[in-house]
Amino acid sequence: MLTDSRLTRVQDRVAAAGVRAVLLSPGDDVLYTLGFTPPGDERCCFLVVGADRAALVVPGVNAHDADVHLAGFPVTIFDYADDAGPDAALSEALQTATGQTTGGRVLVSDAARHDHMLAVERALAPEAIDLASVIMRPLRMVKDAEEIERLRRSSDAADATFGAGVAAIAAGVTERGVHDAMLQNFRRVGSDGASSQLIAFGPNSAAPHHRPDDTAIGVGPMWLDLGCRKNGYCSDLTRMAYRGEPDAFYREIHGIVWEARQAGEQAARAGNPASAVDRAARAVIEKAGYGAYFVHRTGHGIGVAGHEAPFMMEGDDTILEPGMTFSIEPGIYLPGRFGVRIEDIAVVTDGPAEILSKLSPEPVVVPV
Contacting residues toward another protein, per CB under 8 A: 39, 41-42, 59-65, 68, 81-83, 85, 108-115, 117-118, 131, 133, 180, 183-184, 187, 193, 206-211, 278, 295-297, 307-308, 311, 313-315, 333, 335
CB nearer to another protein: pick between 74 and 335: 335
Q: Is the peptide bond before 335 cis (omega within 30 degrees of 0)?
A: no
Q: Residue 183 Cβ, how far from another protein at the closest point, in Å?
A: 7
Q: Compute how many other C-beta atoms are within 10 angstroms of the C-beta atom of residue 249.
A: 11
Pairing of strands 354-355, 325-328: unpaired
Taking the least distance from each CB to another protein, the nearer of 97 and 108 is 108
In this complex, which beta carbon is closest to another protein, that of residue 130 or of residue 354? 130
Compute the least distance from the CB of residue 349 to another protein, in Å. 26
- Cβ proximity to another protein: between 134 and 362 the closer is 134
Cα–Cα distances in Å, from 287 out to 9, 192, 257, 260? Answer: 45, 42, 12, 10
* Beta carbon of residue 63, minimum distance to another protein (angstroms, whole number): 8
> Angle at which helices 274-287 and 248-267 pack, to 10 degrees?
150
Q: How far is the CB of 232 from another protein (least distance, A)?
A: 14
Q: Using alpha carbons only, how large is the chain's radius of gyration in Å?
A: 22
Q: How far apart are CA 76 and CA 25, in angstroms?
A: 16
By CB atoms closer than 10 A (0-12, 13-18, 19+), residue 223 is buried
Between 173 and 313, CB nearer to another protein? 313
| CB nearer to another protein: pick between 53 and 233 | 233
Confirm if 157 and 191 have CB atoms less than 8 A apart: yes
What does the angle CA 50 – CA 54 – CA 57 come to, to the nearest 5 degrees? 115
Smallest gap from Cβ 203 to another protein, in A, equals 10
Shortest CB 112 distance to another protein, Å: 4
As to burial, measured by CB atoms within 10 angstroms (0-12 exposed, 13-18 middle, 19+ buried), residue 336 is exposed
Q: Which is nearer to another protein, 76 or 184 (CB)?
A: 184
Q: Least CB distance from residue 206 to another protein, whole Å?
A: 7
- Cβ atoms within 10 Å of 125's Cβ, excluding its own: 12
Burial (CB < 10 A; 0-12, 13-18, 19+), residue 327, is: buried
**Strand, helix or coil at 39?**
coil
